[in-house]
Structure 1
């Protein structure tokens, strides 16, 4: 009898661990950025933009709310406590004077999910944190490449009738769809091969120009899912500052995402935003 009872207890604990999870609500701005309400060091109430391309956190010089209890030394603040919903995380590092998205006082990165699988649920405006991987029925998967706390995936791009495999940095701080690196844009002659819908020229104090162009990528394939007429930005001109290809917030929101605890695999399936019109960069 005791052995049977012990087995039942172990099975219950095992089942509970698989299902154990936490929810963090968020809202999405009209610029496709995710905003989470946070309490830092039990004193400072801040709206922080979730930035999947960083692990730590930061405060913007343009914030509208006070952050008086985040103590900086040489623009770095160590050992902060962050509360988001029912989740409490300690030893969070903040950087000072980093610009962020609209409606945010700063940024919060993936460090709040360290060691856990997590889901970005765009359908229900929430993060889910798991002790064990949840049911993946209906999801496709893709390898996730991590470097310095940043995540990269591979997607196929159809450019000039040819399929090009591209490594993209997941970048939830960029409101648009794709933003190509200077190296890729120049090497593939995107100025000639993509239909350009708009462009803007800016010059710095030395008279050097940077030209931002928005075009249309006919097809983008992620796994077996194809997106058509994707908004794609790239730069031209004298200044060559864009070193990475971005998979921006407008594309991220078109899927629900699950990331495993080891950050080796990303799982995805279309969200309610999949077929919505593309964000227009102004």
Structure 2
């Protein structure tokens, strides 16, 4: 993690002030359990005395909540609300001070000029349902990024970093076979530009995961507090600095954040029974619909849906899981109903506290979408792609 000198300075000022004392808790292990709102996770955090401060960003919500850090021998409970930051110290083994901050995912309200800007970025919808944007790094390197609503920040694959940018510090030696690439210490990105939209000094993280044939991805968090239109009819991504009036024909629905993923509620109607859950908007996926295994088990979701195909995958430990592609007969959300949707049933057991399903872009591309990350609502309007055939694959 990279943190500015000013953040560190604020910590030093607090420590130096006789009037201000940071709370201190103790630990003999680096592993910390975290209860973030309603979600408890073991070993969710590792203490790092060398990072000052080490910032834990709480799962995004506009409601006030409590976040608790549990060390092996102590704990601290912190109230989190939009824009809040709470600093404290974890004393590790009685000698190492771990300066820690619990921060809201929503930044503090900033004073603005009142002028609303509108940035338009053209995109291409690829054969793999990716929203492809072309970005330029430091005025020299052009890469393809996909807009992924279920991702965070800016990411570039390690292959693209090495082959298509000047960000790998020892690139010449790596290409000559004399050294290994160090992706943890990349050269600085001073400018990232899409059309006329510019991010100055953005944080770029290496990744192994992008949509098919993409060099990198853009997550929703870079548009926090803004309104984003995804117009498939005109192949445009339009970013408004402040929410603007929504045209007629769009239907409004709330966005619910689960693990900081923007989600919407949907309901299956199968054999005269209803199954309701939350769906993350995964525009980075080429699939139409992906159902979580834990959610299916809790819902007693039907196991006899028409089968398209099945296959077996293995995890890092060599465990085998059967994954199936089936046909879901009917799904309704936001007053729109879809039938006969190719649906991927995951075979792995996921975090029981999450139970998030995913709407991939083979589904989502059928709507022109307005995402309001200021008021946490979404507006949807069926577009010219509503009735195209689904892209079914394994």
Structure 2 residues not aligned, in runs of 5+: 1-112, 170-181
* Residue 349 of structure 2 corresponds to residue 240 of structure 1: yes
* Residue 369 of structure 2 corresponds to residue 257 of structure 1: yes
* Structure 1 position 197, deviation (Å): 1.4
Aligned pairs for 1:1-282 (under 5 A) are 17=115, 20-63=117-160, 66-69=164-167, 74=184, 80-130=190-240, 131-147=242-258, 149-190=260-301, 192-203=303-314, 208-236=319-347, 239-241=348-350, 244-282=356-394
Counterpart contact for 1:180–1:246, Cα < 8 Å = yes
Counterpart contact for 1:160–1:194, Cα < 8 Å = no
Q: Does the C-alpha gap of structure 1 residues 76 and 141 become closer, same or farther in structure 2, counting only changes over 3 Å?
A: farther
Distance (Å, rounded) in 2 between the aligned partners of 1:183 and 1:149? 19
The equivalent residue for 1:5 is: none
Distance (Å, rounded) in 2 between the aligned partners of 1:134 and 1:78? 38
* Structure 1 position 190, deviation (Å): 4.4
Structure 1 residues not aligned, in runs of 5+: 1-12
Counterpart contact for 1:49–1:104, Cα < 8 Å = yes
The equivalent residue for 1:4 is: none
TM-score by length of 2: 0.61
Counterpart contact for 2:150–2:280, Cα < 8 Å = yes
TM-score by length of 1: 0.84
Q: Does the C-alpha gap of structure 1 residues 211 and 80 become closer, same or farther in structure 2, counting only changes over 3 Å?
A: farther
The higher relative CO (CA closer than 8 Å, separation ≥ 6) is in: 1
Which SS does the other structure have where 1:184 is aligned?
A: helix
